[in-house]
Homo-oligomer: A and B are copies of this chain.
């Protein structure tokens, strides 16, 4: 069971009453695709965050852009919040109906509309998940690299500006979304961007929508860049005597411009959890999990250079996984680290951190925080997309113990403030949601957050699009 939202995170605004007339109108328009069943509402009123709020008043299942437009128009008429829902994998409370309203489920808008092999593009509906996409296009020799771990919907990944393990080479959603179709707060349908790889045609509405967490528009179609599947892929694991040594190796890889595709840190404590969960025999020391993409010669060259850098930092047991099966096993273990950690403390909930710092400050940001969490006695995991300077602690708290939550939130606060002092951000890829509103002000300053509020008021004058996320008005 999730804990209730702590008082300091509760919005000052009372949930708005959802008018019966709106529910009637939605039922008239959507029939059985508008549900007020408690089980459906509850399922749409939570996410992977550790918070709860009362569920939305109804859930509408959209099947088309016209559905989204009509639902938004009706909500606008009745000044009622509408919260887009993909697969529910948000970690920051994005999906909670903290101001009441309607959940708009986009998961049935799950068609890949067009794969453009020649231009390395795909256009799809927002409910398509990343695994579904890669499955559907695998015969083309192309792939979509952004991999946040969870099998998130691509609409949701746009909304949170997601990234994950491949970002060090291929960038984040920011770099890989070319164009969007968006339903505005008045229910109008607009298009941002074209299929051209670059453009200077006016304000970058695509990038404004990417990362706006459903608060400026609802994404109904996405055009993404694809990449040729590399001719050769090789993965390797290397253990290090310390986190600092693993981080130093990573910094050298980046500074030399080695085009590594993935470089993930797992700390010794977390390796132990992964070993237990996945029956692996990895050395229970800090390790880097790496992947190289390119021509066979280039992959070999990259790997040799990295191996040399690693051994200069005391790295040992450089183990290769060259077959697809071995690679899948390793990466599945990495992706399941979250669940491995959950299982290590039955009944726990995770408070996940998401700071990202300039890579030269990574060891500073990480090591002091490791000392703090160890001193607190709260079990934790630690993973890092270290090539980008982004890492996640997961504090494994007993949800029935308010003291543990308080301590964990305090650890996160220390971590965020330290990362901001080092030139970093409070969130590399999860978004602000409910949890990091205060940190956003610390990071961006009052002036910039006020500019965000001004944009929100201009584009959503009745504050109906996922209100109470990123900031309160």
| A contact residues vs B (CB 8 Å cutoff) | 116-121, 160-163, 167, 171-172, 174-175, 184, 188-192, 194-205, 207-208, 210-212, 216, 227-228, 230, 251, 254-257, 259, 295, 297-298, 301, 354, 356-361, 388-390, 420, 423-432, 436, 439-440, 443-445, 447-449, 451-452, 454-455, 457-459, 470-471
B455 adjacent to A191 (CB under 8 Å)? no
Number of copies: 2
A195 adjacent to B424 (CB under 8 Å)? yes
Q: Which of B161, B175, B184 contacts A175 (CB 8 A)?
A: B175
Query: Can you list 13 A-B contacts with CB-CB less than 8 angstroms, sorted by A residue number?
Result: A118-B255, A119-B360, A120-B255, A162-B200, A189-B447, A194-B423, A201-B432, A201-B436, A203-B212, A204-B211, A227-B257, A297-B301, A455-B455
A451 adjacent to B459 (CB under 8 Å)? yes
Closest 3 CB pairs of A and B: A207-B207, A458-B458, A118-B360
Q: Which of B174, B428, B451, B454 contacts A196 (CB 8 A)?
A: B428
A224 vs B118: C-alpha distance when bound (angstroms) = 32
A236 to chain B, nearest CB (A): 19
A204-B210, A358-B121, A440-B201 known; A196-B425 Cβ under 8 A: yes
Who on chain B is nearest to A199 by CB? B425
Which chain B residues lie closer than 8 Å to A447 at the CB level?
184, 188-191
A203 vs B430: C-alpha distance when bound (angstroms) = 13
A202 vs B174: C-alpha distance when bound (angstroms) = 13
A428 vs B457: C-alpha distance when bound (angstroms) = 31
A161 vs B443: C-alpha distance when bound (angstroms) = 25
A214 to chain B, nearest CB (A): 12
A194-B424, A358-B121, A458-B458 known; A228-B200 Cβ under 8 A: no
A425-B199, A448-B190 known; A161-B358 Cβ under 8 A: no
A454 adjacent to B448 (CB under 8 Å)? no
A445 adjacent to B203 (CB under 8 Å)? no
A100 vs B426: C-alpha distance when bound (angstroms) = 43
Which chain B residues lie closer than 8 Å to A228 at the CB level?
255-257
Which chain B residues lie closer than 8 Å to A199 at the CB level?
161, 356, 425, 427-428
Q: Which of B202, B389, B457 contacts A458 (CB 8 A)?
A: B457
B455 adjacent to A251 (CB under 8 Å)? no
A216 vs B208: C-alpha distance when bound (angstroms) = 14
Q: Which of B356, B449, B457 contacts A202 (CB 8 A)?
A: B449
Q: Which of B197, B204, B424, B449 contacts A161 (CB 8 A)?
A: B204
B116 adjacent to A444 (CB under 8 Å)? no
Which chain B residues lie closer than 8 Å to A205 at the CB level?
444, 448, 451-452
- Give the residue among A120, A167, A424, A425 with the most B Cβ atoms within 10 A: A425
Which chain B residues lie closer than 8 Å to A257 at the CB level?
227-228, 230
A196 vs B160: C-alpha distance when bound (angstroms) = 17
Which chain B residues lie closer than 8 Å to A208 at the CB level?
203-204, 207-208, 455
Who on chain B is nearest to A359 by CB? B119
Which chain B residues lie closer than 8 Å to A388 at the CB level?
196-198
